[in-house]
Structure 1
Amino acid sequence: MKVFGLTFFIFCLATTTVLSQSLLGAWENTSVAEDGKLVKSVAIFSEGYQTATWFDAKTGAFIKTNGGLWELNGASLTETVEFDSDKPERVGSQITFEIVLEKNTLKAVDDDLVWTRVDDGLPGKLNGAWLISGRMRNGEIQQRDTNRPRKTMKILSGTRFQWIAYNTETKEFMGTGGGTYTSENGKYIENIGFFSRDNSRVGASLSFDFKLEDGNWHHSGKSSKGNPIYEIWSPRKP
């Protein structure tokens, strides 16, 4: 009876702590892998969607990423997996676990890994989840259906960003990249911290013009390969 009472008290304490805080924003952790390398992990939570990514803390070499929808009920966090570069068979499954969320730390119950808050969704103007919905080709905007299984999502906190290309139907992961960003005076600047397709791009900075028009994000400049781009991103609603 005493053991049950203590367990119930800890669960209630964790639930109260979670309800008084918010998961929204970016979180990170640095740990030591079995081979002795430092591994950085970054998680971004926006309204309804989240990602978690692991990469070499020194070189930025990509290791793995996963993410999808999330829902918090009390201290129970449920994630519906939309992509997983390491274990694609998990796509479509739901995972539920208890968490302890404090002001600046986040951890799963029975897990020693502690995530530290990076930001709470500020100060960036573009925080949230976005799906690419249009591109400029030959001077004309070509619209893209955001409901199809093949998706390119970009998710941003107040200071961190990540894009992911994947297919929820085939469970295929196509690529990802991310890092830090700023969005001031109509300029959106990405500082690449990891890039699954080309590690040599780590450390590069890319500058774009941006504007919000009718709720959509218009994004223009040059890609990581130096090609001119004009993209339209639409907010993704859970």
Structure 2
Amino acid sequence: MKKIILLPLLIFSIGVFAQELEGAWKLTHLNGIPVKDQECIKIYQDGYFAFGNKKMDTNHFLGAGGGLYTLEDSTSYTETFDFYTSNPNKIGASTQYNLDFLDEKLILSYMKKGENVIEIWEKVSDRDDDLNGTWVITGRKRGDEISTMTPGARRTVKILGGGRFQWIAFNSKTKEFSGTGGGNYTAQNGKYTEYITFFSRDDSRVGASLGFDYEVKDGAWHHSGLSSKGDPIYEIWSSYRKAYLEKIKETED
């Protein structure tokens, strides 16, 4: 009888912890030392995570990483990287962490080269809107025609959560990283605006903002406006889980 009672409680506990993770977090301490000269923001959404790191004084891009995460129980947390700029050899590999929440802070600890590493993260926001999610690009309008794309090893992903966004272009098979950028965003009344706080290809883009029209139709995010170069764009983004993860699972089965 105890097992029957405890199992639903365990499942509920894992679900609660997953919900607490969702949103945007900022790295505040590393091994007890305050992180002041860098800004590292990590977004968790729909079982996916991504982070971008930059120098505070120059906005110089330092690195990025991300992929799938799982919570095996309320304290055991695993990351599997799709991209990782500082160590591409980690792509496809899984790293297990101890996870805890203390005073509304996220504490991750793990072993690295025989030494214990402790990260403390503080939640920036868990704001929710109709664009919160992890997306993959599946369509682009050229002229009057919309060309569709099937996400494969090479894909462009965009994760939005807690009022933060990050896009990443990468190839998980060749471990090639093409670029990333991110920052704050607003999405209201069909208007979507990005405020760039880091950009891997050009530090001078930090501080710029771009406005677009958007609509969510049949679960897909339709995104239109002008690019940073002034060119018209119309993109369709689909649920990463449905458009990529479930399709991959079908081919494996």
The TM-score range, normalised by the shorter chain, is 0.7 to 0.9
Provide the secondary structure at the position in 2 that maps to 1:45.
Answer: strand
> Displacement of 1:108 after TM fit?
1.4
Provide the secondary structure at the position in 2 that maps to 1:209.
Answer: strand
The corresponding residue for 2:123 is 117
The question of whether the paired residues in 1 share the 8 Å contact of 2:42 and 2:50 is answered with: yes
1:90-139 residue CA offsets vs partner (Å, 9 max, x unmatched): 1111111111124631111353431100122x233211100000000021
Provide the secondary structure at the position in 2 that maps to 1:200.
Answer: helix
Aligned residue runs from structure 1 range 99-110, under 5 A: 99-102=99-102, 104-109=104-109, 110=116
Q: What amino acid does structure 2 have at the position aligned with 1:88?
A: P
Tell me whether 52-61 or 39-48 shows the greater mean CA deviation. 52-61
Provide the secondary structure at the position in 2 that maps to 1:89.
Answer: helix
1:63 maps onto 2:74 in alignment:
no
The corresponding residue for 1:136 is 141
Counterparts of 2:47 and 2:103, CA distance in 1: 20
Cα 1:103–1:154 change in 2 (3 A) is: farther
The corresponding residue for 1:193 is 197
Counterparts of 1:172 and 1:60, CA distance in 2: 23
Higher helix proportion (structure 1 or 2): 2
> Displacement of 1:20 after TM fit?
5.1
The corresponding residue for 1:145 is 150
Cα 1:127–1:20 change in 2 (3 A) is: closer
1:24 maps onto 2:35 in alignment:
no
Cα 1:215–1:30 change in 2 (3 A) is: same
Counterparts of 1:143 and 1:77, CA distance in 2: 35
The question of whether the paired residues in 2 share the 8 Å contact of 1:201 and 1:224 is answered with: no
Counterparts of 2:67 and 2:190, CA distance in 1: 29
1:57-110 residue CA offsets vs partner (Å, 9 max, x unmatched): 233221000110000122111111110111111111111111112463111135
What is the Cα-based RMSD across aligned positions, in Å? 2.2
Counterparts of 2:179 and 2:15, CA distance in 1: 34
Q: Which runs of no fewer than 5 residues in structure 1 stay unpaired? A: 1-16
1:49 maps onto 2:54 in alignment:
no
The corresponding residue for 1:165 is 169
The question of whether the paired residues in 2 share the 8 Å contact of 1:221 and 1:229 is answered with: yes
Cα 1:19–1:55 change in 2 (3 A) is: same
The corresponding residue for 1:226 is 230
The corresponding residue for 1:13 is none
> Displacement of 1:167 after TM fit?
0.2
Provide the secondary structure at the position in 2 that maps to 1:59.
Answer: coil
Q: TM-score, normalised by structure 1?
A: 0.86
Q: What amino acid does structure 2 have at the position aligned with 1:39?
A: Q
Counterparts of 2:238 and 2:128, CA distance in 1: 20
